[in-house]
Structures are given as C-alpha cells and as structure tokens.
Amino acid sequence: METIEYMGKTFSVDEDGFIDDFNNWCPEWEQWVKTVEGIEEINDEHRKLVTVLRDYYEKNGIAPMVRILSKVTGFKLKHIYELYPSGPGKGACKMAGLPKPTGCV
C-alpha cells in the first residue's frame, strides 16, 4: 500500500487512491481527495453526499445504489457529476472513505 502525507495526517491508499479503512477517514482525507478528484472547493452539497454515503454505509454495510443516493440527497445524477466530475463511485465514495466499488465496473 502507498502512504500519503497530507495536512499532518498519514493515509494508506490502494493503487486507485481509495483509503484502506472506512474508520481511518477524517476531514483531512476529504481535503486530500479534493486535490485529486478535480474539485475546486468542498461546499455543503459535497458534504451532504459524503454524509449520506457514510451514514448509509454504517447502517447497511454497502454503498447505496445511485437511485437511492439521488432520492435521499435530492440531487439528480447530472448534478452529482457536477459536484464530483469522476462520478458517485470514483469521486464521492472515495471522498467518503467507502471501499472501492467492485464488480464489472
């Protein structure tokens, strides 16, 4: 695993830049992901997505389906892409500290 030093914190990440453990997430991690995911400034809408993703993961042990994410946040998929140019998986889940999406992606 690679190690990243950022704002005084150390993170272990895989080759795609996903964090090694949901529990090692912290606000500094968000700031780091911002720099690699083409996000200029983290606003309340970015945070809302991260909060929903983290709550859902804690409760259910999985990331929500895209339609659930849209429904709960009220953000259409198009808007999610405006917030996270890499999309809900590679962008938002990475920032929220969720495990890397699997399957035939």
Give the shortest CB-105-to-other proteins separation in angstroms: 10
In the complex, what is the shortest distance from the CB of residue 10 to other proteins, in angstroms, rounded to a whole number? 16
Site string for other proteins, 55-74 (x = CB under 8 A): --x--xxxx-----------
Pick from 95, 87, 85: which is nearest to 47 by CA? Answer: 95
* Among 4, 9, 17, 20, interactor with other proteins by CB under 8 A: 20
85 binds other proteins (CB under 8 A): yes
Helix (H/G/I), strand (E/B), else coil: 23: helix
Burial class (CB in 10 A: 0-12, 13-18, 19+), 36: middle
Q: How many Cβ atoms from other residues are within 10 Å of residue 78's Cβ?
A: 8
In the complex with other proteins, the residue whose CB is nearer, 8 or 23, is 23
**Residues contributing to the site for other proteins (CB under 8 A):** 20-22, 38, 57, 60-63, 85, 99-100, 102-104
